[in-house]
Amino acid sequence: MSPLFGRRPPIRVERGERLLAHATAAEGLVGGSRDALYVVRRLGTGLALEETLRIPWEDVQSADWDQDAAVLHVVEVGSWGEIRPEHMLTLEEPALLLQLVRERVTASVLLQRHVPVAGGRGVRVIARRAPRGDQPVRWLFEYDEGVDPDDPAVREAAEAALAAARAEVGTP
């Protein structure tokens, strides 16, 4: 029988959520529900204090697994040009958690389209959604290296691509 059944889950999740998978990490614990990734970090050595970070799936830009190092590298969505929060998590026996992470992050991407603006480089228009569908669709731009988002031609191409993508998805 799974260790999640018959006893209190090792990670407390928000009301209405249920822990679906978890793994022990060098940093503490990592788990996931239908709605979010949870990272529980121990604070200090030998202390019973901990902090829980909840990252909604639609806010996970990428989650890459390095099998040799047993490290899950999670990068959060952010604004172009700003430093994005990153989490390096060394996991033990992560199989079920990795499956959940892959499935949930993929499911959060509603649309992703690359629009060339200069010499093959361009801007990617991305629509992300919460698993429950109770939040508005979140629209993002990702610019290829060397593309200046302040260039009027780039801004015009990005806005046109956004309008077309919104029409395709059916959101205002």
| Spatial CA neighbour of 89 closest among 19, 12, 32, 10 | 32
Q: Find where tokens 């503490």 sit.
A: 28
Q: Delimit the CATH 2.30.29.30 region(s) of the chain.
A: 21-107
User: Within a 10 A sphere around the Cβ of 30, how many other Cβ atoms?
Assistant: 26
> For the CA atoms of the chain, what is the radius of gyration?
19
Q: How far apart are CA 31 and CA 10, in angstroms?
A: 9
| CATH code given to domain 21-107 | 2.30.29.30
The tens digit of pLDDT for each residue in 20-75 reads 999 999 989 999 999 999 999 887 666 567 889 999 999 999 999 999 999 999 99
Provide the residue type at 123 as one letter: V
| DSSP character at residue 145 | T
Whether residue 129 contacts residue 137, with contact meaning beta carbons closer than 8 Å, is answered with yes
Supply the pTM of this predicted model: 0.84
Provide the residue type at 30 as one letter: V
The tens digit of pLDDT for each residue in 67-125 reads 999 999 999 998 777 889 999 999 999 999 999 999 999 999 999 999 998 778 999 99
Q: How far apart are CA 36 and CA 38, in angstroms?
A: 6
